Amino acid sequence: MNHLLVRWLVLALGVLLATKLVHGIHCSDVSTLIVVVLLLSLFNAILKPILLLFTLPFIILTMGLGVVLINALLFFWAGNLVEGFYVADLWAALWGGVVVSLTNLVVSVLTKGPPKPPRAPQRTDVIDI
């Protein structure tokens, strides 16, 4: 549960930064931000894997840039569905998605702990008598 809460907080930080940095994205209040974060989480959990599957040839052809377009589309849809969250056009959604992705990347790198040492393999083929 804590992991999910941290992911929501990081997403909320990314959306908040997008509203401050990208011209054309506006969020009216904190309750609207919470609704947007929940909706984007739902989109990322359900719609994004389906869209990735159906657009896989396009993603391969564009060397991964198609994923940026999918993120922008999901961001734009959230702007159309949530009252009080305004995304002006697809360009604003594209830059908003980039800001959210970069925020997620930076927080992930900063919170990543030291690497764990490899565990010794356990033998299961030896039977003690």
- Using a 10 angstrom Cβ sphere, with 0-12 exposed, 13-18 middle and 19 or more buried, the burial of residue 31 is exposed
List the beta bridge partners of residue 10.
Answer: none
**Cβ atoms < 10 Å from Cβ of 88:** 15
DSSP string, 22-73: STTEEE--HHHHHHHHHHHHHIIIIIHHHHHHHTHHHHHHTTTHHHHHHHHH
Report which of residues 94 and 117 the model is more confident about.
94
* Percentage of the chain modeled with pLDDT above 70: 94
| Predicted TM-score (pTM) of this structure | 0.77
The residue ranges of every structural domain in the chain are 2-103
**Would you give the DSSP letter of residue 124?**
-
Q: Is 85 helix (H, G, I), strand (E, B) or coil?
A: strand
Q: How far apart are CA 33 and CA 44, in angstroms?
A: 16
List the beta bridge partners of residue 25.
Answer: 87
What is the tens place of the pLDDT at every residue in 32-90?
999 999 999 999 889 888 998 999 999 899 888 888 888 899 999 999 999 999 999 99
Distance of CA 114 to the CA centre of its chain: 23
